[in-house]
Amino acid sequence: MATVTTTRAILTSSPMKWALGGWSFFILENLILSENRSYLISTFGDQPYHIAYGTLSTAAMTSVGYGYVKKVKHAEPLLWSLKGPAPVGAKVMGFVCLSLGLGMASQIPPKVQIPVHFVGNGDDGDNNSNNNNNNIVSDNTNHDSGESTGSSSVATADPIIPISGREENGKGWQVRCPFDFTDNKNKDAESSSSVSGLERITRHPGLWSFGLLGLGNALLVPSLPQRAWLAMPAMVALVGGAHTE
């Protein structure tokens, strides 16, 4: 009975709530939005969906960071003294988890990105301008070599539209998740359609490397709330990985 009371007191303490609450909200909102992605996009549109997704993810990670710095770090109860060494078993298991996590992270680091960015059609406009310039140079070369007449060289060259004259359609602010775990997957898909590297083991190596690094560090700290906070990325990989877009 005393053990149950102690466990309940630990789980309902303020540091433990902060340790688990932010990460749980992050998992829950990703789970709900990913599972209902098609319905939400068809109902509200693609841009509102991604704005909501990015806003909620950023808010969740903000609460996770605040909770760790202000409420969780070095919070009681402690398994051993803060200045004391970790048990040998914890050191061994921590070393294994950290080694695996670092090995995976060295191959597939997630892309860290600003949560808010401006989307425009500037790149398309620049590419169009470059294509137009290339057309003009090609036509002028053909004209000089006698392969075409002057009238045809002018007719085949598309007019160059100045940057200031571009339309505003397609421009706007977009909110996104601070971590892009699909960046390397997209690059691999562009280069090859076959599955290679760590993706032969898991579809989300970035999430699992993050989770293993958290577990390795969790084993080396005496604070129970801090351990819970550091172990939660593994839960993100386990639950959220199956629902990542």
Radius of gyration of the chain (CA): 26
Asked whether 26 and 236 are in contact (CB, 8 A), the reply is yes
So what's the pLDDT on residue 119? 74
Tokens standing for residue 183: 């960046």
The predicted-structure confidence for 25-66, as pLDDT tens digits, reads as follows 999 999 999 889 999 999 999 999 999 999 999 999 999 999
So what's the pLDDT on residue 153? 41
So what's the pLDDT on residue 157? 42
Alpha helix ranges (H) inside the chain: 2-11, 14-35, 37-44, 46-67, 88-105, 122-144, 150-156, 183-191, 205-218, 224-239
**For residue 122, what are the CA distances in angstroms to 29, 113, 128, 131, 177?**
33, 20, 10, 14, 23
The mean pLDDT values, 10 residues at a time, for the chain of 245 residues are: 79 94 94 92 93 93 96 94 93 96 79 74 46 46 46 42 44 72 57 62 80 95 96 90 59
Q: How many whole angstroms separate alpha carbon 216 and alpha carbon 223?
A: 14
Asked whether 104 and 205 are in contact (CB, 8 A), the reply is yes
- The whole-angstrom distance between residue 67's C-alpha and the CA centroid of its chain comes to 20
Backbone angles phi, psi at 179, to 5 degrees: -120, 125
Q: Tell me the one-letter amino acid at 83.
A: K
So what's the pLDDT on residue 37? 92
So what's the pLDDT on residue 18? 96
Name the 3-class secondary structure at 116: strand
Question: For the chain, what's the residue count?
Answer: 245
Asked whether 111 and 58 are in contact (CB, 8 A), the reply is no
Q: What is the pTM of this model?
A: 0.64
So what's the pLDDT on residue 195? 61
